[in-house]
A and B are shown apart, each in its own frame.
Chain A
Amino acid sequence: MEHTSRLERIIRIVLVALILIFFLFPIFWIFLMSFQTNEDILRIPPSPFFTPTISNYQALITGKLVSAAGTLDIPFMRNLWNSVLLSSVSVVIALILGVPAAYAFARFKFRLGEDIAFTLLSFRFAPPLLVLLPLSLYFQEIGLTDTYAGLIWVYQLIALPLILWIVRGYFEDISPDIEYAYRIGGHSWWRTFTRIAVPLAGPGIAAAGLLAFIFCWNNFVFALILASADKQPVTVGSLAFVTASGIQYGQIAAAIVLSVTPTLAIALYAQRYLVEGLSLGAVKG
């Protein structure tokens, strides 16, 4: 049995506390800011003591922002909904396309297989702005400009390569013997894939899906260039609080809290899959 001295335990606790403070303090401070008025936030010197207000959340949820310039309309909840819609649908489609493709790349050797896989990965290399201008021309011609369908298609540039390469690594880690044994029992390839391979790769698929969701959620430039204001995600919408008549720090903090919540909730729920899935997919056994 491993023995740790009292001193070692104290040092460990202190170090863990310092690390937690270092990483969590900004989030804690933002959380506090979200319950303060601009005047409280801009006090000199700053103080953690204030009279809490829910006006920032109220402004975001009702869509009415009171500023120096009067009452402004802020479609933040619509931006939030757009982010949920674009990210979740994009990830679902990427999973439907990417998981079978990842399985194929992992299990079968076919002509140009590696080249195709690398080409899909190379989507991640292209600077978005380089791709977007020609893409916007094509989108105009085929009528996909300013549509959710067009955006979800473009979001595949983010989600599909990520899912394909993470899940492929995971499939490669699972011994094919299990699948062979199942096939010998007279089951089809498809049945083997759905009943054996996918359940075994579940944690890896969940981890890849989660990562793809976070990457899609954080995307900024695709919707900005390709869609109008009513289809913008929360990353663009949050900038509306930086106005010529002043920065609404309280609303920015509340917007951060609200926009982080969905990804944080999913990440907490899928945490065990994330760690297990990533480590198993990444390390060859």
Chain B
Amino acid sequence: MSQKAKDFFEQYKAGKISRRDLMLGAGKLGISAATANFMLNAASTQALAADFDWKKFKGAKLHLLLNKHPYADAMIADLDNFKALTGMEATYDIFPEDVYFDKVTAALSSKSSQYDAFMTGAYMTWTYGPAGWVDDLGAYIKDPAKTNPKYAWDDVLPGLRASTAWNGVPGGALGSADAKQWCIPWAYELNSIAYNRKMYDKAGVQPPMNMPDLVEKAAKLTKDLGGPYGIGVRGSRSWATIHPGFLSGYANYGQKDLTVGADGKLKAAMNTAGSKAYHKLFIEMVQNSGPKNWSTYTWYQVGTDLGAGASATIYDADVLGYFMDGGDNKEKGNLGFHAFAPNPEAKAPTPNIWIWSLAMNSFGTQKDAAWYFMQWASSTEHDLFGATKTDFVNPVRASVANDEAFKTRLNKSYAGYVDQLAASSPGAKIYFTPQPLFFDVTTLWAETLQKMVAKEVPVDEGLDQLAATIDKQLKDAGLG
């Protein structure tokens, strides 16, 4: 490479030119895209190393536990940069998602030191944190001796920082002043509308504006398309049925799963008038326009149907639509994305979120070195690499979500995704009440939803029964 080209990358490193100008300039100098990307990563890595002793744990060998996911693949694709930056070795075990959390729970509950850090979801840390299985990362973030001054923790979206921090008190607000940072947001998915543009055009329908509109349009699509059904949502007897579109809409109507009394006791709140009205809307939508065997539907079926052209719309994770808009899916390139505020009176969307995060094993024997890995993996540099070169979407950092290269890349292939993300992310956070019976409560909720959709029990009665059952469970556990 010529001296001129090297100087060009040095200028970028010194912050004198932008990333966009760098890539344009590299092209003019005849540097191939692959070489430019390599140089860019190398320059970013050197920039990262400027004011911090990344080599402090040189020679350490970390072992990670990862879920088989595009986010993990993005990290592995960039892992050589971490090794070059720190002089550490990082090996990993990857397990399929279906069994991943069984593996994590077994490793942590047996106090194994085999893994130094691992992928987790925020909901899981409501169990892991109070049990003493994961470390509070707030202490690391605040320690200038352990954290790179350029780490820019505040750049991580506030809803995500808060959603991954809890004080361990049942019903305690996420992100409160006394909360512990049980994990670091890595990449996340928010729940919104993804739709098949061709089908919508064929039926002469515009993307839905709110829940009543969605119920109506989903029914029209089911009737007019002559095959595909109108709306795909999850329906299996699992917490995962409640957390995506269903809870996002529920929160947008101002409804809560539990209320916290002045005495700190929890009480089920699914049987309020507002909640019952929302449930009726949602159930009507599934009955009229949902998949035939809705009660078996998980992430996989909802996504597969959208990608295969069996459904016209999904109200689920935006990245699920993103994945179905690519690959070898039949409807690749035909999907559109749309920010969605279900309540006609709401000003903005309130999507509930799933955050793939990184947590530190409390039984690990090289925690400071593990923290070096975690801060590198959640750094702006890696986030930007993942978001622009791989499927590390949605980025957790505001600077990356606003990066022109990221937006340009997505705008080219994913119609409306960037606008959807910009409109939805300010209100994106976890809308559940954190408490140890989270999985029990949400599974019961999904079970009741199934019964109401199957017309085994009227909505009003079903929700009253659900609230009474949950109240009893909370009381038995000393929480209610």
Residue in contact with A247 in the complex, picked from B68, B69, B92, B300, CB distance below 8 Å? B300
* A246 & B329 in contact (Cβ 8 Å cutoff): yes
* B330 & A246 in contact (Cβ 8 Å cutoff): no
* Those of B294-327 within 8 Å (CB) of chain A: 299-300, 303-304, 307-310, 319-320, 323-324, 326-327
* Mask: chain A, 216-248; 1 = CB below 8 Å from B; 0 = not: 000000001100111010001001101111110
4 closest A-B pairs by beta carbon, nearest first, are A68-B327, A239-B96, A69-B70, A42-B308
A132 to B109, CA, bound (A): 11
* A244 & B299 in contact (Cβ 8 Å cutoff): yes
Residue in contact with B95 in the complex, picked from A43, A137, A229, CB distance below 8 Å? A229
Instruction: Given A39-B328, A246-B324, A246-B329, answer yes or no on A136-B106 (Cβ-Cβ < 8 Å).
Output: yes
* B327 & A133 in contact (Cβ 8 Å cutoff): no
* B114 & A243 in contact (Cβ 8 Å cutoff): no
Interface residues of B (CB under 8 A from A): 68-70, 73, 92-99, 102-103, 106, 109-112, 114, 227, 299-300, 303-304, 307-310, 319-320, 323-324, 326-330, 390-391
Instruction: Given A133-B110, A242-B96, answer yes or no on A44-B308 (Cβ-Cβ < 8 Å).
Output: yes
* A70 & B96 in contact (Cβ 8 Å cutoff): no
Instruction: Kindly list chain A residues whose C-beta atoms are within 8 Å of the C-beta of B303.
Output: 246
Instruction: Given A39-B328, A239-B96, answer yes or no on A225-B106 (Cβ-Cβ < 8 Å).
Output: yes
A and B contact pairs by CB, cutoff 8 A, 26 listed: A37-B328, A39-B329, A42-B330, A44-B227, A67-B327, A68-B324, A69-B323, A69-B327, A69-B390, A70-B390, A70-B391, A72-B73, A132-B106, A133-B109, A136-B106, A140-B110, A225-B106, A228-B93, A239-B97, A240-B68, A243-B70, A244-B319, A245-B323, A245-B391, A246-B304, A246-B323
A246 to B331, CA, bound (A): 13
* A246 & B68 in contact (Cβ 8 Å cutoff): no
Instruction: Kindly list chain B residues whose C-beta atoms are within 8 Å of the C-beta of A140.
Output: 110-112
Closest A residue by C-beta to B300: A247
The yes or no answer to A192 lying at the interface (CB within 8 A) is no
Given contacts A224-B95, A228-B114, A245-B327, 12 further A-B contacts (CB under 8 A): A39-B328, A44-B308, A70-B73, A146-B114, A228-B93, A236-B95, A236-B96, A243-B97, A244-B323, A245-B323, A246-B323, A246-B329
The yes or no answer to A145 lying at the interface (CB within 8 A) is yes
* A145 & B98 in contact (Cβ 8 Å cutoff): no
Instruction: Kindly list chain B residues whose C-beta atoms are within 8 Å of the C-beta of A225.
Output: 102-103, 106
Instruction: Kindly list chain B residues whose C-beta atoms are within 8 Å of the C-beta of A70.
Output: 70, 73, 390-391
Chain A nearest Cβ from B150, distance in angstroms: 29
* Those of A97-122 within 8 Å (CB) of chain B: none
Instruction: Kindly list chain A residues whose C-beta atoms are within 8 Å of the C-beta of B109.
Output: 133
Q: For chain A, what secondary structure do more than half of its interface residues adopt (helix, strand, loop), or is it mixed?
A: mixed
Instruction: Kindly list chain A residues whose C-beta atoms are within 8 Å of the C-beta of B300.
Output: 242, 246-247
The size bracket of the interface on A is 20 to 34
* Those of A228-284 within 8 Å (CB) of chain B: 228-230, 232, 236, 239-240, 242-247
A198 to B400, CA, bound (A): 71
* Mask: chain A, 185-211; 1 = CB below 8 Å from B; 0 = not: 000000000000000000000000000
The yes or no answer to A38 lying at the interface (CB within 8 A) is yes
Closest B residue by C-beta to A244: B69
Instruction: Kindly list chain A residues whose C-beta atoms are within 8 Å of the C-beta of B114.
Output: 145-146, 228
Instruction: Kindly list chain B residues whose C-beta atoms are within 8 Å of the C-beta of A242.
Output: 96-98, 300
Closest A residue by C-beta to B389: A70
A69 to B74, CA, bound (A): 9
Instruction: Kindly list chain A residues whose C-beta atoms are within 8 Å of the C-beta of B299.
Output: 244
Instruction: Kindly list chain A residues whose C-beta atoms are within 8 Å of the C-beta of B112.
Output: 136, 140, 145
A66 to B300, CA, bound (A): 18
Closest A residue by C-beta to B305: A42
Instruction: Kindly list chain B residues whose C-beta atoms are within 8 Å of the C-beta of A39.
Output: 308, 328-330
Instruction: Kindly list chain A residues whose C-beta atoms are within 8 Å of the C-beta of B92.
Output: 229
Instruction: Given A44-B310, A132-B106, answer yes or no on A68-B323 (Cβ-Cβ < 8 Å).
Output: yes
Closest B residue by C-beta to A221: B102
A242 to B111, CA, bound (A): 29
* Mask: chain A, 79-113; 1 = CB below 8 Å from B; 0 = not: 00000000000000000000000000000000000
Closest A residue by C-beta to B113: A140
* B95 & A69 in contact (Cβ 8 Å cutoff): no
* A236 & B328 in contact (Cβ 8 Å cutoff): no
A219 to B395, CA, bound (A): 39
Instruction: Kindly list chain B residues whose C-beta atoms are within 8 Å of the C-beta of A42.
Output: 304, 307-308, 310, 330
Instruction: Kindly list chain A residues whose C-beta atoms are within 8 Å of the C-beta of B327.
Output: 67-69, 245-246
A123 to B308, CA, bound (A): 46
Instruction: Kindly list chain A residues whose C-beta atoms are within 8 Å of the C-beta of B98.
Output: 239, 242
Chain B nearest Cβ from A85, distance in angstroms: 18
A247 to B304, CA, bound (A): 7
Instruction: Kindly list chain B residues whose C-beta atoms are within 8 Å of the C-beta of A240.
Output: 68, 96
